Amino acid sequence: MRKILFSAVLCLVVPLAAIAQDSTEVDAEHYKVLLENDQVRVVGVSYNAKEKSIMHSHLANVAVFLDDIQAKFTFPDGKTTDVTAKAGDVQFSEALTHLPENVSDKPFRVILVELKGKPAMAKLSASADPVEVDPEHHKVVLENDQVRVLRVNYQAKAKTKQHGHPNGVAIFMTDTNVRFHLADGKTRDGGGKRGEVLWAAGENHIIENTGAGPAEVILVELK
């Protein structure tokens, strides 16, 4: 009797363990780690037309869409849902297990900022909040108890007002070249190519767009 019960439990446990697997381990063709520390893991997602994944899991995450997408998610219970998004859209998802499929005839890329739930930094005072002091360049596109996501836009040669950010992840939506003017008077140059990401440690600064054209960055601030 005990052997029968053990076998029955094992049959239940093994499929569940197989389902709840890391996307970058079970489907490295479509999911690659771009950045990781104790607070986040950033995963680059890339599908060609009509490609299909296998069942895998994600932590709670912010998805930043680099391209238009048309996809279908299949869940462990067999249910499905259609997913559409436009390039530049931002969505939040709680932890989930699914099997995605690109149902369109075009490739797409997505950046997933997976949240590990570790402490970030104390909240900024209103006097340093970029949304309060520099709303021309900083817009909130998503906020909950875990993150605040900003869309940051700079025209060519534009310069922000002094402001601060907690720890976060920057996703470059355009090729971007900027200069950071720090609170201690020092400067540093930064930026990245479209689709690149970087860890943005919390600090106070002024940002100057040193590029020849407009720039757009999605900044996922951690709470």
- Position 183 scores a pLDDT of 86
- Position 117 scores a pLDDT of 85
In a shared domain, residues 135 and 109: no
In a shared domain, residues 66 and 104: yes
Per-residue pLDDT reduced to its tens digit, 99-115: 999 999 999 999 999 99
- Position 4 scores a pLDDT of 40
Residue 216 located in a structural domain: yes
Residue 68 located in a structural domain: yes
- Nearest CA to 33 out of 115, 145, 121, 112 is that of 112
Q: For residue 119, what pLDDT band results from cuts at 50, 70 and 90?
A: low
- Position 127 scores a pLDDT of 65
48-53: long-range contacts, CB 8 A cutoff, minimum separation 24? 48/102, 48/107, 49/102, 49/104, 49/105, 49/106, 49/107, 50/101, 50/102, 50/103, 50/104, 50/105, 51/101, 51/102, 52/99, 52/100, 52/101, 52/102, 53/23, 53/27, 53/99, 53/100, 53/101
Last residue of a domain, one of 83, 115, 147: 115
- CATH number at 65 reads 2.60.120.10
- Position 121 scores a pLDDT of 57
- Nearest CA to 220 out of 205, 191, 199, 203 is that of 199
- Position 8 scores a pLDDT of 39
**For range 34-54, the mean pLDDT:** 97
More confident residue, 138 or 15: 138
Residue 19 confidence (pLDDT) above 70: no
Per-residue pLDDT reduced to its tens digit, 167-179: 999 999 999 999 9
Residue 140 confidence (pLDDT) above 60: yes
Residue 158 located in a structural domain: yes
- Position 98 scores a pLDDT of 96
In a shared domain, residues 102 and 175: no
In which residue are the tokens 């002024």 written? 206
Per-residue pLDDT reduced to its tens digit, 46-88: 999 999 999 999 999 999 999 999 999 999 999 999 999 999 9
Residue 125 located in a structural domain: no
Residue 148 confidence (pLDDT) above 60: yes
The pLDDT mean for the chain works out to: 90
Residue 12 located in a structural domain: no
- Position 118 scores a pLDDT of 74
Contact yes or no for 95/60 (Cβ under 8 A): yes
Residue 10 located in a structural domain: no
Range of the domain at 85: 21-115
Last residue of a domain, one of 115, 149, 180: 115
Which residues fall within 8 angstroms of residue 161, CB to CB, at 6 or more apart? Answer: 133, 134, 206
Domain tally for the chain?
2
Torsion of CA 159, 165, 167, 170, to 10 degrees: -30
d(CA 28, CA 180): 35
